[in-house]
């Protein structure tokens, strides 16, 4: 948050010249304005701390006592502010604790951001959502009507709203309550079953590996909340396919291919995955540092009850590209390859 939020009539002026005088009349501010504080973490450790758990991370909020005056040294624009009669400034510092939920973000496939309202003295004020990078805090003042009594944040994420009491730090989480008890998922991987079937005949079995994580449950995954009283079952599947060798009938010539693209579909017993999220941080296809190996990790979401089948079926479709021919052989520029592997979830 680097600019104050003003009414629509002066927004264009703010973009051209973001001085404090741009909002609330000449040299002043108006109720609803959001004014950047001088320091990024200006109120940290000085007020009431509140933690709001969201699918995209824990939002850590510190709220100071409402004031009617702000000195010039405490504002980003270095201008003294005085609240109009009958209003007050509510000081807030917030940021995401990205480290807490970083591993869980891999199971999200959504651009949704929280919608946040500050409520004070019975009136509501829409606040710009915090930066999602999780790096650094943002501090600001919100000018509200009244004394800023009993401030709270109403934080809506994809239709589920939590109410955070900024005077006590307590949160009414509602359906989001399971987010507060989540532990980081374990990273240990378990091998899939040895048997693998390929859609093309092969005389030289390629180097292939497959592993899965231990499944766990989330209240929000893919791009949706689980139903009331339910949760999503999520698991990561990591595969690695080496060079594919097409050998001619004479066994003396052939062509070598590498994977350049891969898609996956998954079944848990007979249940198709609800969402499949390719993990870019754990995907390299082709990996030019490993002789063209195609490594990919899919983070997979299932709708599952208390008990669920343990057999996971992995179907992958590869786009292969010709790397070289050998023995005077010939090869097509591209090939399609399908493979099926299975795993027993731990």
- CA-wise closest residue to 239 among 297, 292, 287, 184: 297
Residue 136: pLDDT band by 50, 70, 90 thresholds?
confident
d(CA 308, CA 304): 6
Pick the residue with more confidence: 296 or 103? 296
DSSP one-letter string for 249-311: TTSS-EEEEEEEEEEEEEEETTEEPSEEEE-GGG-EEEETTTTTEEEEEEEEEEE--SS---E
d(CA 98, CA 215): 22
pLDDT for 133 equals 64
Listed as own residue / partner, the contacts of 206-209 with beta carbons closer than 8 Å and 24 or more positions apart are 206/241, 206/242, 206/243, 206/244, 206/245, 207/240, 207/241, 207/242, 207/243, 207/293, 208/239, 208/240, 208/241, 208/242, 208/339, 208/341, 209/239, 209/240
Its sign, for the CA torsion 295, 301, 305, 306, is: positive
pLDDT for 17 equals 27
Q: What share of the chain is helix, strand, coil (3-state, %, to 5)?
A: 10, 50, 40
- Asked whether residue 9 carries a pLDDT value surpassing 50, the answer given is no
Rg (CA), the chain: 27
Q: Using a cut of 0.85, tell me whether the model's pTM lies above it.
A: no
Pick the residue with more confidence: 56 or 146? 146
- Decide: 214 and 190 in contact? Cβ < 8 Å: yes
d(CA 256, CA 322): 6
Token pair, residue 97, equals: 């604790």
Range from 10-24, 40-54, 191-205, 321-335 carrying the lowest mean pLDDT? 10-24
pLDDT for 306 equals 85
- Asked whether residue 304 carries a pLDDT value surpassing 50, the answer given is yes
- Decide: 187 and 196 in contact? Cβ < 8 Å: no
- CA-wise closest residue to 91 among 118, 124, 51: 118
Q: Report residue 205 CA to chain centroid gap.
A: 38
- Asked whether residue 18 carries a pLDDT value surpassing 50, the answer given is no
pLDDT for 32 equals 94
Query: For 273-288, what is each residue's pLDDT tens digit?
Result: 999 999 998 999 999 8
């Amino acid at each position: 948050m680097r600019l104050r939020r003003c009414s629509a009539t002066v927004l264009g002026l703010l973009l051209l010249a973001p001085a404090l005088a741009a909002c609330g009349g000449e040299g002043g501010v108006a109720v609803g304005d959001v004014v950047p504080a001088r320091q990024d973490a200006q109120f940290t450790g000085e007020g009431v701390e509140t933690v709001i758990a969201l699918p995209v991370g824990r939002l850590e909020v510190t709220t100071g006592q409402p004031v009617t005056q702000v000195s010039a040294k405490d504002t980003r624009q270095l201008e003294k502010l005085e609240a109009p009669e009958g209003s007050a400034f509510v000081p807030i510092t917030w940021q995401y604790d990205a480290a807490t939920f970083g591993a869980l973000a891999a199971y999200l496939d959504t651009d949704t951001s929280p919608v946040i309202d500050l409520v004070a003295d019975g009136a509501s004020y829409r606040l710009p959502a915090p930066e999602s990078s999780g790096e650094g805090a943002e501090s600001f003042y919100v000018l509200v009507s009244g004394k800023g009594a009993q401030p709270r944040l109403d934080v809506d994420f994809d239709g589920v709203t939590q109410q955070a009491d900024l005077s006590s730090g307590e949160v009414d989480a509602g359906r989001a309550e399971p987010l507060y008890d989540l532990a980081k998922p374990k990273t240990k991987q378990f091998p899939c079953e040895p048997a693998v079937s390929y859609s093309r005949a092969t005389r030289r079995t390629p180097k292939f590996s497959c592993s899965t994580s231990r499944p766990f449950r989330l209240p929000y995954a893919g791009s949706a909340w689980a139903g009331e009283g339910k949760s999503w079952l999520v698991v990561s599947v990591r595969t690695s396919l080496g060079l594919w060798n097409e050998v001619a009938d004479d066994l003396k010539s052939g062509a070598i291919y590498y994977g350049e693209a891969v898609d996956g579909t998954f079944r848990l017993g007979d249940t198709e995955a609800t969402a499949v999220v390719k993990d870019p941080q754990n995907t390299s296809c082709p990996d030019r540092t490993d002789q063209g190996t195609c490594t990919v990790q899919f983070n997979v979401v299932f709708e599952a009850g208390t008990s669920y089948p343990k057999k996971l079926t992995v179907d992958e479709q590869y786009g292969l590209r010709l790397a070289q021919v050998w023995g005077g052989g010939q090869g097509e520029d591209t090939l399609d390859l399908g493979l099926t592997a299975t795993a027993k979830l731990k």
